[in-house]
A and B are shown apart, each in its own frame.
Chain A
C-alpha cells in the first residue's frame, strides 16, 4: 500500500511529500517528492542586483537565514573580487554560530515533538527565542534579516550586545544538559531511536550526505576545520562526532555542536570587544553601496563594467555542507547563481535509510535528517 505522507502532514516539517510503500507496518519503498516550495530563487537571482539576492537567501532556509546569507555573500564577493574588513568576517562567524544554535535548538524542538515528547518542544522554542532576540537587536528582524552586504555587513553590533549575548550563552549551556536529561535519560527514547536509520560513513559519502548525519557515522568532516572560511582557523573548537550512525548518534552530534557553537560564540564576542573597526568595505563601487539608488543618481545609469569572475564558497551550514556558485559576467546582476543545499542531498538518500523500518519510525528518522524544505526546493 502506497501512503502519501504529505504535502500536508505533521511529519514533514515543511511542504513535501514522502511516498512510502508499506507492508503492514514495515516500509518497503520510499520516494520523496519535492518541489512544493520551489520559488525559483536561482532564477529570480538572475534578475536581481547582487545585494538584493541577500533578501532571497533569508527565504531559502527559514531557520538558518544568516548562514545562507554569508554563504551567498562570500561567493558573490569572490566573484566580484571584493575584500571584506576583518571585523565583518568575525561578525559573520558570530552570526553563523548563533544561527547554528538557533537552528539546532529548533531542530531539537521539532525532533522531540516527532517522538511524542511535548515538554522539551516548548523548552526548545523558548530558548530559540533568546537567539532571535539577539538577532533582532542587530538586524532588526527575527527571521528575514537582510544583514549581509557585498563587502561586509550592513551595520555594526549595537552597544552592549556582547554582554547580552554572553548572558544568553550562560543561560543556554545548562539548558543543553536539561535537554539531554529529558531525552537520553529516558529509556523509551533509546528504545525509539537506537539502531534507527542506520548509515555507515561510506554510504553517507556515496549518497552525498553531509553535516551532522555524516559526522554521526564517524567521519569528522567539518568544513570549518577542513577548509576554514571566515576566521574559523583562529578559534578553538572540536568537531563533534559519534560512531553509531543512527538517530541517537545524530542527536548526540547536534547536542555537542550546540556546546561547541557556544564556545565559538564566546571567542567571537571576546575578539569583537577588543577590535572595533569598520564592518563594510570602504572602496565599494557606488552601485554596490546603494542598491536602491533612484533613477538618475550619479553613476547608476551608466553601463557598468566590472571584472568578470566566478565565485565559489562552501560553508558548514547547520544542516550540512552548503555551497554557492556565482557567475559574474560584468553586469550588475549575477549571470547565474547555483546553490547546493545539504538537505537536498541528505534527502535524496531517503530510501536507503527508511526501508526496513516501521511506519512509526519515519518521524524520528526524517526528523533526525533536519529537513528544511525551503533550501531543498529553493
Chain B
C-alpha cells in the first residue's frame, strides 16, 4: 500500500497511543489502543498536518514572492532574519499577533470580526479538498473540483461584509469593486473549468490528474489555461487586477480599517488563495503530480516524488504571477470588467468548443479509442 497522508497520520496515531497506553494499566491501555480511538486521533493528526503544512507553505510563498520581487527590482528582499530572510515572515506574523485588536467606533461589530475570520477559514478549507499527490488528500470526493471552486467563490461575500461593516468610504468602494470583480471573473473561470471537465470526463481532481498522465491539458486547452490564469489573477486580486486594494486611490481598499491579527488574516488568506490558485492551475492544466514519460524514472520514483514535483510546479506557476506583478501596471475598474465580460467569456466559450473538438478527435478511428465522453 502506498503511503498516503491518512496512512501516515494513522501510523503516528497508533505509535503515539501505543506509547502512551503502555504506561497505563490494562482497561485504559486497551481502550487507548482500540481502533476507534486510534482512528479518531489519526483524523486530528491528519488535520494538524494539513494545517501546519499549508500554513508553512503559505508563509514560504510570501518569502518566495518577496525574494523574487526583490530580484526583479534590483534589490535583495528580506535578508536579516534567518538564512536569507527565511524567518522574516514568521517574525512579521508574530509582530502582528502581538498587536492590539481594535475596532473603529462606528463599525459593525459582528461583520467587522466575522468577515476576516470567515475569509480566512473558507480559504483554508480548500487545502483539505485539493489533492497534493496520489493519496495525499483529504478524501477523494467525486465532485471535489466543484466543491473547491464553490468554496473559492465565497470570498467576495466576506470581503464585502467586512468592507461594509468597517464603515469607511474607501473600504466600501473597495468592497464593491472586489465583489464586482470576483463575480465577473467567476464566470469565465467556471467556463474554462468546464473545458477541462469535458476533456477529463470527471469532476474529481484525482481523476483529472490521472487523465493527464499521457498528455497535460495545457496543450489542447491553451485557451482555457489563459482564461483560467487571467481569471485567477483577478480572483487573487493581484496586480494588474488589484483594484479593490489599489493603494494609490483607495488607501488599502477593503482592509483599510483593519490592523493587527485581523489584517494578518486578510494578508494570509490572500496568499492562501494565491497558493490555491497556483495549485489549481497545476492540477487542471499542468498534470498535477504526474510527470511526462520521458522524464527518467529515477526522478519520479523517489519517496514523495509526487509532492516534490507538484510543489515545484506550483511555485513555478506562482513565480509567473510574481513576474506579472513586477512588470505590469494596474488596470481600471471599468476596463477590468470589460476585459472580464467581453474578452474572457467569449474566449472561455471558445475553449469549451475546442475541448469538444479534442474529445471528438480522440475518438477518430486513427487513435483507435472508444467514443465515450471523456474517454
Contacts from A to B (Cβ < 8 Å): 1, 3, 5, 9-11, 25, 112-119, 121-123, 126, 182-183, 186, 188-189, 191-192, 358-363
Contacts and interface: CB of A to CB of B under 8 A. Distances in A.
A359 B251 CA distance: 12
A122 B328 contact: no
A114 B332 CA distance: 12
Given A3-B169, A359-B173, A188 B328 contact: yes
Nearest to B172: A1
Given A1-B169, A122-B73, A116 B333 contact: no
Nearest to B327: A119
A114 B328 contact: no
A182 B328 CA distance: 8
A183 B330 CA distance: 12
Given A118-B73, A122-B75, A11 B248 contact: yes
8 contacts: A112-B329, A117-B327, A118-B73, A122-B75, A186-B329, A188-B331, A359-B173, A360-B246
B334 interface: yes
B69 interface: yes
Main secondary structure of the interface of A (DSSP, over half): helix
A363 B246 CA distance: 10
Contact of A191 (B73, B243, B333, B335): B335
A117 B329 contact: yes
Interface of B: 69, 72-75, 169-170, 173, 239-240, 242-243, 246-251, 325-335
Contacts of B243: 360
Q: Max chain A CB contacts within 10 Å: which of B69, B72, B73, B74?
A: B73
B148 to A, nearest CB: 29
Contacts of A362: 249
B251 A115 contact: no
Given A9-B251, A114-B248, A126-B74, A360 B332 contact: yes
A188 B170 CA distance: 24
Nearest to B69: A118
A255 B333 CA distance: 28
Contacts of B331: 188, 191-192
Contacts of B73: 118-119, 121-123
Given A10-B251, A116-B239, A119-B72, A360 B329 contact: no
Given A116-B240, A119-B327, A191-B332, 15 more contacts: A25-B173, A112-B329, A114-B248, A115-B248, A116-B248, A116-B328, A116-B330, A118-B239, A188-B240, A188-B328, A191-B331, A192-B331, A359-B173, A360-B246, A362-B249
A350 to B, nearest CB: 15
Contacts of A11: 248-249
Given A116-B246, A122-B73, A122-B74, A188 B329 contact: yes
Nearest to B239: A116
